[in-house]
Amino acid sequence: MHTLTLRAVTPVTHDVNHYLFERPEGYEFTPGQATDLAVDKEGWRDKTRPFTFISQPDEPSLEFCIKSYPDHDGVTEQLMMLSPGETVLIDEPWGAIEDKGPGVFIAGGAGITPFIPILRNRAREGKIDGCTLIFSNTSEADIIMRDEWDAMEGLKTVYTVTGQPDSPLAIGMVDKDFLKNHVDDFGQNFYLCGPPEMVDEITEALKDLGADPDGITFEE
């Protein structure tokens, strides 16, 4: 395990925070990968949860964007209470999500996190053209980093909300009909991250619509 010292916490949405940690020397990962993290406090060191790095592999810090669930009385609530100078523990990086080329990135809520470093890296390298972000949330207030996605020239964005009927955004779940209406080429790469049930249902819908199963990337 590696010990990370917290340097800063900043709010992203009403229930999501950005955490910036010192990076251990020699710690390597690729955009899209995650690690198992535990709070370095008595009674919490063996309670790990998976979180995705949103920083780039060549940056000096390790950064996470983490949604809090105070009603769960768990790790994310403990993270909310951390102050700069306190520490967490992480294991080695892991994960099946990686950049395999331009395509459609479909995220549900905090499932956006593995796509943050991938899309940022593509943007800084001038390779964002051909990428679409389909981002489903309960309400507009839940959309993580919307301003950044809207400002990413060349990225097509499609937002949908499931619990805000007065929103001017698309309304409803990302299902087969939604995909037919918003995707014009099912021969491209697809990246999925969100609640397991959502990922399973979208995977089956994509296959039914002609997507190559080998072109669908998600966390196993």
Amino acid type, 50? P
For position 199, what pLDDT does the model report?
93
For position 172, what pLDDT does the model report?
86
Domain 2-90, architecture per CATH: Beta Barrel (2.40)
Domain 103-217 matching CATH 3.40.50.80: the answer reads yes
Positive/negative CA dihedral, 167, 118, 84, 78: positive
For position 72, what pLDDT does the model report?
61
For position 73, what pLDDT does the model report?
65
For position 70, what pLDDT does the model report?
64
For position 81, what pLDDT does the model report?
87
pLDDT in tens, 67-95: 887 666 688 888 888 999 999 999 999 99
For position 160, what pLDDT does the model report?
92
98: Cβ contacts below 8 Å, ≥ 6 apart: 30, 31, 32, 33, 118, 217
For position 168, what pLDDT does the model report?
87
Q: Which residues in the chain come in under a pLDDT of 70?
A: 70-73
Domain ranges of the chain: 2-90, 103-217
